[in-house]
Structure 1
Amino acid sequence: MSKRRVFDIDFTPDTAAVPAGTVPEAPAEKPAVSRRGPMATAISENADALRTRAEAEEKIRAENDRLAHEFVRLKKLGLMVDRIPIGRIGATKLIRDRREGRDPDLDELKASIKSIGLSNPIRVEENEDGSYELIQGYRRLRAYLELLRETEDEAYEHIPAGLVAKGDTLQSLYRRMVDENLVRRDISFAEMAQLALRYAEDEGTRAKTLEDAVNDLYASAGRQKKIYIRHFAQVLKAVGDALKYPEAIPRALGLELKKRLEADAMNAQVLRDALARVQPSTEEAELEVLRSFVEGKRKNAPRSPAAPRPGVAKTTLRCTVPAGTVRCQARDGKIEMAMERDFSGIDRHKLEDAIAAFFAALEDDG
């Protein structure tokens, strides 16, 4: 008789507890046991830290590049403003379009700065050594220097300045200076003409002639204004060093001076002699000499205010001759005769004989 084999079935408590017809939940996975040693763990953590740091540095570099480009862009536009020491600002790179000497409007500017501050910063270009070169704002810089000297207030040791990006051409820097004054319209034709003359003489510019200089500097000015500047430049070239107050010359008088000087090469010396003889000490006195020159008068010496002005007294008459009626006007240094006749058709030698006879008759005591 054979033996029966008996098998024991062991039901775990979890399996036995699951009701029939249901799906048992999957048993939770046991956490994998790390087999890396302390050195491997340290290397992995260090690599993660280096990667995080590299990403942060890349973001910082990108932001710095963006800010640097924005800084350069704003500098080119002259929008970067800082307060810089006035002692580190030079004004020698550009020939200024302002004459040295007392500016009658400077006191007004100083009073405005003391009251409300400087509303329009100067413009400077930074040099390699940390100093600055003035581009725009000569009068504003002068006002600050005078206020510092007069008040000894430390507030005037630094001046608001727009930082202009380096690399602009000399012509571009001149244009920046000139265009600001053209907009403000407080610069005289003589000052603009003087700058054009000096610009043409400057070997660092590309201008070879006066016309080149005017076209370069005043490119934004109208055609007629450029013509006026050239006319004033011709006057200054002829007698500029003999004038004390050229900036006071009105436009109309300047154009008349140009015509008179151009009419005869000797007229420049005549005007120089007149200015040297009178030695005017005021703007009005100098303008009077210039007006007298334009009108063809001779001004021998300054007269007292009570003395009659030269050229005011005159003699006017009409004279009947076989050819018709002559209207004549005589004054100091000038005589005019007019009648209905074309004198341009008369032979030149005949006119010379007539003029000689006329003056001979005036000198004849008989």
Structure 2
Amino acid sequence: MAKRRKVAVPSEDDLNQIEERFRRETSTRSGMAPISQISADAALASSPLDVESRAANAKLQADSDALQTLRSEGRELLAIPLDQIDPRAMIRDRTLINADEMKELKDSIEAHGMRLPIEVFRRETTADNAAPFGLLSGFRRYNAVRELASQNDDPKWQKITAIERDPEALGGAITAMVEENEIRSNLSHFERGRIAVVAAQQGVFANTEEGVNKLFAVASKAKRSKIRAFALIFEELGDLLIYPEALKERDGLRLANALRNGSEADLRDVLSRGTFENAEHEWDALEAVIEAQETKSRKDPARGGRPTGFAAKPSWQGDTRVLSSGVTLRHARDSNGHMIRIGGKALDKDLIESAIEHLAYLLEKPDD
């Protein structure tokens, strides 16, 4: 059986010796808890900031947050060198720039600065074009600043104020460009039709019809009908016309009707053979073909398609007007306005659209 060890109670001297040895083997601050020790060391290692410094840091953080918000919302103003922007990165809706208007704009920017930034979108750079940005809107402002840069050594004209946009698709970018130009400087009828056709040809829209409807979604049906007429002119004659932007609204609609009624070959022939000094001479040549086609349509009103003249010798049956083509027109009126009911076997979609177009430019105030 193991012998039990007798435990002796330490004396006061023994306790004093143990305590002295403990003090020598531990830090002078060993009585502090570990977390307190770490906090104390960190406080000693850092220098406390005064009130002004803490306020400045808070302002910097607030400014940084505000900048991130502006950037995420597409409202950050950038100063971009002109050579980093490609003005032809996307198809343009405007084909002509009025020289007097450009001079006025350039003089205004030179005197007062550019008050409205241009809009750009980021693009992939290639070997052919290293510009990281494409011009979205502000084509005239960009060109005005570029002219100032070529005429002045002042470095301020080497950059231009811009906002970077991130359009979801090219169709959105083109729509934004059209809307900007429609608001600030109305496009010509031909320019409106042209941009819809080119956008469709480049695959932005399924066809010209969709291009017109999406690019000019806020326009009235009558206006979109006119744009489709000028789109047809661009599709069929755009490569031969010298002064297409000079076409007036009524003249353009007559030309589009002539194209729909089969006069394309004759119109292309007269344009390819003619040498025209100005827009009036070009229109005189076109009008000769158009009048011949309109005369033919008046002599044969039942030929279908989109007629340009009224049928001869209409008759009345009560309150209904009966045309020689068999089409009937009946007028009625209620509290909401006038109504015209059109009937007859000769009707088709093209004929109704033609009638709507004709009514549109009769009832709507001409732009010219």
TM-score w.r.t. length of structure 1: 0.61
2:279 is equivalent to residue 283 of structure 1: yes
Return the offset for 1:273. Answer: 2.0
Moved over 6 A (4+): 38-42, 49-53, 58-62, 338-343
2:38 is equivalent to residue 43 of structure 1: yes
Match for 2:79 among 83, 87, 92?
83
Return the offset for 1:228. Answer: 0.8
Task: Classify 1:103/1:221 alpha carbon distance in 2 versus 1 (closer, same or farther; 3 Å).
Answer: farther
Alpha-carbon contact 1:110-1:147 (below 8 Å) kept: yes
The corresponding residue for 1:202 is 202
What SS does structure 2 have at the residue aligned with 1:241? coil
Task: Classify 1:217/1:339 alpha carbon distance in 2 versus 1 (closer, same or farther; 3 Å).
Answer: closer
Task: Classify 1:154/1:287 alpha carbon distance in 2 versus 1 (closer, same or farther; 3 Å).
Answer: farther
Alpha-carbon contact 1:179-1:220 (below 8 Å) kept: no
Return the offset for 1:250. Answer: 1.1
What SS does structure 2 have at the residue aligned with 1:162? strand
Q: Quick one: distance in 2 between partners of 1:341 and 1:66? A: 74
Between 105-114 and 238-247, the greater mean CA deviation after superposition: 105-114
Q: Quick one: distance in 1 between partners of 2:96 and 2:152? A: 23
1:185-209 Cα deviation digits (max 9, x unpaired): 4210111111111110113x2x211
Larger radius of gyration: 1
The corresponding residue for 2:71 is 72
The corresponding residue for 1:95 is 91
The corresponding residue for 2:12 is none
Alpha-carbon contact 2:94-2:191 (below 8 Å) kept: yes
Alpha-carbon contact 2:209-2:228 (below 8 Å) kept: yes
Alpha-carbon contact 1:123-1:136 (below 8 Å) kept: yes
What SS does structure 2 have at the residue aligned with 1:221? coil
Identity, % of aligned pairs?
29
Q: Which amino acid aligns with 1:45?
A: A
The corresponding residue for 2:101 is 105
Mapping of residues 154-169 of structure 1, within 5 Å: 154-164=155-165, 166=166, 168-169=168-169
Q: Quick one: distance in 2 between partners of 1:287 and 1:251? A: 13
Task: Classify 1:154/1:284 alpha carbon distance in 2 versus 1 (closer, same or farther; 3 Å).
Answer: farther
1:312-356 Cα deviation digits (max 9, x unpaired): xxxxxxxxxxxxxxxxxxxxxxxxxx99799959xxxxxxxxxxx
Alpha-carbon contact 2:67-2:76 (below 8 Å) kept: no
1:104-160 Cα deviation digits (max 9, x unpaired): 532222222223222221111234778221110112112222232244543321112
The corresponding residue for 1:254 is 252
What SS does structure 1 have at the residue aligned with 2:238? helix
Match for 2:227 among 223, 229, 233?
229
Return the offset for 1:68. Answer: 5.1
Task: Classify 1:285/1:119 alpha carbon distance in 2 versus 1 (closer, same or farther; 3 Å).
Answer: farther
Return the offset for 1:85. Answer: 0.8
Return the offset for 1:246. Answer: 1.0
Match for 1:219 among 198, 217, 220?
217
Q: Quick one: distance in 2 between partners of 1:65 and 1:158? A: 24
2:250 is equivalent to residue 268 of structure 1: no
TM-score w.r.t. length of structure 2: 0.61
Return the offset for 1:48. Answer: 4.5
What SS does structure 2 have at the residue aligned with 1:124? strand
Alpha-carbon contact 2:313-2:324 (below 8 Å) kept: no
Return the offset for 1:275. Answer: 2.0
Task: Classify 1:47/1:153 alpha carbon distance in 2 versus 1 (closer, same or farther; 3 Å).
Answer: closer
The corresponding residue for 2:143 is 142
5+ residue gaps, structure 2: 1-26, 49-53, 126-130, 294-310, 316-322, 326-368
Q: What RMSD over aligned residues (CA atoms) do the two structures have, in Å?
A: 3.7
Alpha-carbon contact 1:211-1:230 (below 8 Å) kept: yes
Return the offset for 1:162. Answer: 1.9
Q: Report the number of matched residues.
A: 261
Q: Quick one: distance in 1 between partners of 2:261 and 2:110? A: 51
Return the offset for 1:221. Answer: 1.9
5+ residue gaps, structure 1: 1-33, 298-337, 346-366
The corresponding residue for 2:171 is 171
Task: Classify 1:50/1:217 alpha carbon distance in 2 versus 1 (closer, same or farther; 3 Å).
Answer: farther
1:26-55 Cα deviation digits (max 9, x unpaired): xxxxxxxx96259978633234479999xx
Mapping of residues 268-347 of structure 1, within 5 Å: 268-296=264-292
Alpha-carbon contact 2:167-2:173 (below 8 Å) kept: no
Q: Quick one: distance in 1 between partners of 2:134 and 2:88? A: 7
What SS does structure 2 have at the residue aligned with 1:105? helix
